[in-house]
Structure 1
Amino acid sequence: TILVFAILLRLADMRLFSSLVSRLSPVRSLRALPVAPRALAMRSITTMAFKRTMDQLFPGTLPEPEFVKRLLVAVEKHGITPDNSIPIVGTCRDALASPLFEEFKRVYPGYFNIVSLAGLPQLGTIGLQAGLGHSPLDENGKERYLVLSLTHIGIDENGEPGRYKRPGREPAAEVCGALCALHHQIQEEDFSTEIVDDNNEFYH
């Protein structure tokens, strides 16, 4: 059983990921949680402008522990628990996304890491097949996986989405940088599908 739970933010399209997983096993989509986890920035930015943008764009956001807790309740209805499954977790490489990944590590005794730029899976079918050999087997030899691909977006203290001021750096930077770069290329009609040898992860 593979249960795909993709958090879709405004700049990400996870249909590619669902297509990849569907080549390996039947996919069931879960839409039980119409909320997204808060980023690390949520703890350090408390301006009214930030809160207004967060509530407008992402109403119902939750701190990471509460998000994971509700997710576990939702997937348990499908027979998936931390004892009989593992999560295959992909977040962005950005440290801002690390608290959510760490929360899954805290809850699950085992996991498979597919962290990549923008949280979009870049490991290919061989890499994903490797992850699909880690779950506990039940008495019938059945495996259970919770596959998550989670991108992120920053909101700065002025409430501007897609930006975040990192400590010790001026001015605020684009977050997620990889998604913003892709967005700019599409807007400027400068997007190429050609694979660049020294930039494989971005162009895949």
Structure 2
Amino acid sequence: MPRAAARRLIAQGLSALAKAEAAEASALSKSARTFSSLARAAGQTTARAGGSLAGQCKCSCGKAFCMGKHFHTSVGAAQAEAAMADEAPHAPSLTARHLEVAKHFPLALGVDDFIARLEMALAAYGFTGDNAIAMSNLCRDESCMILEDKIESVFGSCFSTHGLGGVLTCGVIGMGAGLSHSPVENGKERYVFFSFPHIAIDSEGKIGAIARPNRPGASAACGALIKTMLDLKEQGVDANVSSPGSHDPLEPEYSILKSRIARRIKYEKGDVQEMTLVDITKVAERVITTDLEYLISKAVNPKNADYAVVTGVQIHNWASDLDDVRIPSMEFVAPARAYVVINGEKIDLDLQQVPALSPRQLQLLAAQSTQVVEASKSLTTGTGNSMLQEIPRDYLLNRLGGVNTTIHLDVEHQGPSWREYIKTTFHDAHHNAPKMDEHFFEDKH
């Protein structure tokens, strides 16, 4: 073959390879979800990976992409180590902040770690963004939209039932409206219910403190729960235990929130004078979870639909000063309940038993949910319980939306064998707690 012809063939081959790699990179940047994103990422050549990440390696292993240490993830990420060598100066501060949060919420996971584990667990039981609708119940505070974006990156747009402090006031009809929007696959509807009151614990460990963009001075979260705590301490619990159905017409959501929390504290025989904001937030989670499950029992027919319930507390661990670019912001979720109901059978799930993703995988998924193109620029580290991922400052300030994709999963199959390992047994110590329409204390007289 003449040399000129050979050169042309080589050039054509290189051009085709470059186009294929460019197409692959484009597909990767658009893909938001775990398996498709991670499969494409894992399939990248060493040369491509080295182009953007090789400079970060600080050891002599010879790998184009290295986390600086031998990293492995066992069940529950128990041996998770720091993610990247060049982030060592930052990692202790992130780890210390996680430990500070864990003093108050021992099971707290980084929000991206939480979402990744949850997505895998729910997919194992047949729930995906294609065949289920997410029902989100958060506080009305705009800071809570960070978690909503993460949820929507998996399940698409949520049907929201948000209220002050996360109080549920949508009722059975309101919930039913959202359920009627669900996809139908193989004759079944599927719902995933999320419910999370929230609290701020800033980068300095101050409980209730949160910085807000372009607002001088300190702010607080959750304002409604702080107000509830102060009112109950000043006025007493009994003074705020009102009959179901009664509320202040000028403060409908707040008066309902305060009354339901007061009823729960009285039922649990708690001493409100000894309670902190952390305690009140945990009470709010318990009462809102009870309310959610009660509404589900009225609105959902388990013969026609499968559903999942995921509850807990959303924790804002933002920079104490958002103008200081040196301080990263993080979000945590402290899971309380996670279970699926399939064909009427309830299966409790332990998300701590779902292996954490690697730092590289977590960065890819976190970048997709925040629309950050250069995933490697955000901080990632690991602790004994969770993988931590920085909430990018630009995203935090602008609150960009999530992205969706289409992934089809055969829900008729038996699911992966490992799903048996994440089953758990949950004992509800307050299964007899007063329902939202129950005249509990009035009936005791």
Tell me the TM-score normalised to structure 2 length.
0.33
Which residue of the partner structure matches residue 240 of structure 2?
191
Q: How far apart, CA to CA, are the structure 2 residues paired with 1:49 and 1:159?
A: 10
Q: Give the AA of the match of 1:199.
A: E
Structure 1 position 81, deviation (Å): 1.5
Which residue of the partner structure matches residue 98 of structure 1?
145
Whether the 8 Å contact between 1:182 and 1:191 is mirrored in structure 2 is no
Farther off after superposition, 191-200 or 142-151: 191-200
Where do 1:1-204 residues align within 5 Å? 50-139=97-186, 141-167=187-213, 168-170=215-217, 172-188=218-234, 189=236, 190-191=239-240, 193=242, 194-204=246-256
Structure 1 position 106, deviation (Å): 2.1
Deviation by residue 1:65-87 (Cα, 9 ceiling, x = unmatched): 33212111122233212111111
Whether the 8 Å contact between 1:136 and 1:143 is mirrored in structure 2 is yes
Residues 116, 136 of structure 1: alpha-carbon distance in 2 compared, 3 angstrom cutoff? same
Q: How far apart, CA to CA, are the structure 1 residues paired with 2:205 and 2:252?
A: 33
Deviation by residue 1:53-76 (Cα, 9 ceiling, x = unmatched): 313112353333332121111222
Return 5+ residue gaps in structure 2 as ranges.
1-75, 77-92, 257-445
Whether the 8 Å contact between 1:119 and 1:149 is mirrored in structure 2 is yes
Structure 1 position 163, deviation (Å): 2.6
Structure 1 position 197, deviation (Å): 0.9
Whether the 8 Å contact between 1:68 and 1:103 is mirrored in structure 2 is yes
Tell me the TM-score normalised to structure 1 length.
0.67
Deviation by residue 1:90-132 (Cα, 9 ceiling, x = unmatched): 1111122111101222222343111221223221111011111
Whether the 8 Å contact between 2:119 and 2:154 is mirrored in structure 1 is no
Q: How far apart, CA to CA, are the structure 2 residues paired with 1:174 and 1:82?
A: 33
Q: Which has the higher strand share?
A: 2
Q: How far apart, CA to CA, are the structure 2 residues paired with 1:92 and 1:134?
A: 22
Q: How far apart, CA to CA, are the structure 2 residues paired with 1:49 and 1:175?
A: 21
Structure 1 position 195, deviation (Å): 0.8
Identical pairs, percent: 32
Q: Give the AA of the match of 2:253.
A: E
Return 5+ residue gaps in structure 1 as ranges.
1-32, 34-45
Deviation by residue 1:19-46 (Cα, 9 ceiling, x = unmatched): xxxxxxxxxxxxxx9xxxxxxxxxxxx6
Q: Give the AA of the match of 1:104.
A: I
Q: How far apart, CA to CA, are the structure 2 residues paired with 1:148 and 1:183?
A: 24
Secondary structure (helix, strand or coil) at the match of 1:147 reads: strand
CA RMSD of aligned residues (A): 2.5
Q: How far apart, CA to CA, are the structure 2 residues paired with 1:62 and 1:81?
A: 21
Secondary structure (helix, strand or coil) at the match of 1:153 reads: strand
Q: How far apart, CA to CA, are the structure 2 residues paired with 1:147 and 1:195?
A: 26
Q: Give the AA of the match of 1:183.
A: M
Secondary structure (helix, strand or coil) at the match of 1:160 reads: coil
Q: How far apart, CA to CA, are the structure 2 residues paired with 1:143 and 1:74?
A: 18
Q: Which has the larger radius of gyration?
A: 2
Whether the 8 Å contact between 1:121 and 1:149 is mirrored in structure 2 is no
Q: How many residues align?
A: 158
Whether the 8 Å contact between 1:90 and 1:113 is mirrored in structure 2 is yes
Structure 1 position 179, deviation (Å): 1.2
Residues 52, 76 of structure 1: alpha-carbon distance in 2 compared, 3 angstrom cutoff? closer
